[in-house]
Amino acid sequence: MSKPVVAIVGRPNVGKSTLFNALAGEKISIVKDTPGVTRDRIYADVTWLDKEFTLIDTGGIEPDSKDVILSQMRDQAQIAIDTADVIIFITDVRQGLVDADSKVADMLRRSKKPVILTVNKVDSFEKFMPDVYEFYNLGIGDPHPVSASSRLGIGDLLDEVIAEFPEHTGEIEEDTRPRIAIVGKPNVGKSSIINRLLGENRVIVSDIAGTTRDAIDTEIVHNGQEYIFIDTAGLRRKSKIKEDLERYSIIRTVTAVERADVVLMVIDAVEGVTEQDAKIAGIAHDRGKGVIIVVNKWDAIEKNDKTMKEYEGKVRQILSYMPYAEIMYVSAVTGQRLPKLFDMIDMVIQNQTLRIGTGVLNEIMMEAVAMQQPPSDKGKRLKLYYITQVAVKPPTFVIFVNDKALMHFSYTRYLENKIREAFGFKGTSLKFIIRERK
Ligand code: GDP
Ligand code: GDP
């Protein structure tokens, strides 16, 4: 099941980033070498009680004049309405209620999305509570006082947020159709690929429950199997500010990727693979999704017998953190190799849901340990006791060891390579959780 998305909306300086950090906590990423992902505080994974969600901060750069503030806030609110399941609308008790707050509150109310009204900078309940009541005037429910900087009221706020999540108690049958997100920079050919796939396959324009998102879902039937394609290209936000556009496109990518099983990372063959591509692909990698690197416009470049190999070299170098991803060279214009995409998608999904028995996993780990001695530090050597697979999508393994600090990233990667040698797992990242057992 894809995780709910929670968006923070509010004027500049009310404390959006501070609240974001208070809610997200110190996010320690398991994958430290994904460029642009862990440093970026636009989104984060949050766990509260037994619930997980993706938190996004819609706030972009600071506008310099009053009228820009309002139009920018409207943009932010719209992004939140389009992409989020729950919206945290944050205001500032010190500044009090201002006109822009009321206008945004109207927009949010009309959207009918669950909104949690939050009043920040209530550093002392005694002193500021009387001023909090003023925010009832916004007409979007009870104001929740918090102090983001001193982490007051954060737990209560999180309780309110998760209470708004849709229930998945089993009465709704889960949609088992593969979901594929098409991501990539503008103009790489995302829409063209979708259109071409649509042209070659039977189309059902679908009305999928809960898709009020900023991505267009299209159902495509291929060889009797239904696939849902999530297209991030369709809707483009207008904004004059470059930083804002980038932020919106990251938010769109994150929320589309979040809902997908497999991500088609589209690259423009003519332009070549860039750092921006690496950033976008990093989102899919970081979320543990299946990834297929699709080099499009293959028709438009001059080729000889070395071109593909050279191309692969460049892609592998820039997207070095996802050696597991398959590369396909396609053309949306000529249709070259596009039908093969479906076989590749099927394979990736199969690998994402592959389960390996504990017995054979441990055999492989013991063999690997025998071949390459585990690291040691100050006379203490890492001991690996036991490995077991605990989840799929992505395949997730727990390794029990004597001392977590001794488990170097490079040794985990070594074990990962051994597991891949044995089982492939092509197209999907693998996740390793290291636990201590005394
Ligand atoms: P943003 O522009 O909405 O992201 O706001 P920031 O998170 O950057 O915060 C703006 C300013 O408000 C900073 O100087 C913060 O230190 C301050 N601030 C944030 N939260 C609180 C709070 O709970 N109490 C007080 N007194 N100041 C806060
Ligand atoms: P999007 O922004 O990623 O959705 O990109 P579009 O699908 O709108 O395509 C951007 C431009 O690239 C358009 O002018 C397309 O005609 C062109 N284009 C897309 N796919 C191909 C392709 O396979 N080969 C060539 N030569 N051009 C393509």
**pLDDT tens digits, residue range 154-203?**
999 999 999 998 775 444 446 788 999 999 988 899 988 988 888 766 54
Ligand 1 midpoint to CA 11 (Å): 11
Name the band, by pLDDT with cuts 50, 70 and 90, for residue 304: very high
Structural element, H or E, at residue 195: helix 190-200
Where do the DSSP E strands lie in 124-257? 144-145, 179-183, 202-204, 216-222, 225-231
Domains of the chain by range and CATH?
Answer: 3-162 (3.40.50.300), 177-351 (3.40.50.300), 356-434 (3.30.300.20)
Strands ordered across the beta sheet of 431-436: 384-391, 396-401, 431-436
Q: What is the pLDDT of residue 201?
A: 60
**Residue 380: its H or E element:** strand 380-381
Q: Whole-structure pTM over 0.90, yes or no?
A: no
Distance 189 CA to ligand 2 centre (A): 4
Q: For residue 147, which atom of ligand 1 is closest to its CA?
A: 23
- Ligand found nearest the CA of 152: 1
Look at ligand 2, atom 17, and give the residue with the nearest C-alpha: 189
Calpha distance 433→192 (Å, rounded): 40
The model's confidence at residue 77, banded by pLDDT at 50, 70 and 90, is: confident
Ligand 1 centroid to residue 299 C-alpha, Å: 52
- Which of 187, 195, 218, 237 to probe ligand 2 with, by most ligand atoms within 8 A of CB? 187
For residue 243, with 0-12 CB atoms within 10 Å meaning exposed, 13-18 middle and 19 or more buried, which class applies? exposed
For residue 186, the CA-to-ligand 2 centroid distance in Å is 9
Instruction: Note the pLDDT of residue 146.
Output: 96
Query: Ligand 2 center to residue 220 CA distance, Å?
Result: 20
**CB of residue 300 inside a 6 A radius of ligand 2:** yes
Ligand closest to Cα of 270 equals 2
> What whole-number distance in Å separates Cα of residue 79 and Cα of residue 64?
21
Residues framing ligand 1 (Cβ under 6 A) = 10, 12-18, 59, 120-121, 123, 147-149
Can you tell me the ipTM of this complex? 0.75
Q: Which atom of ligand 2 is least distant from the CA of 331? A: 23
| pLDDT at 39 > cutoff 70 | no
Atom of ligand 1 nearest to the CA of 18: 7
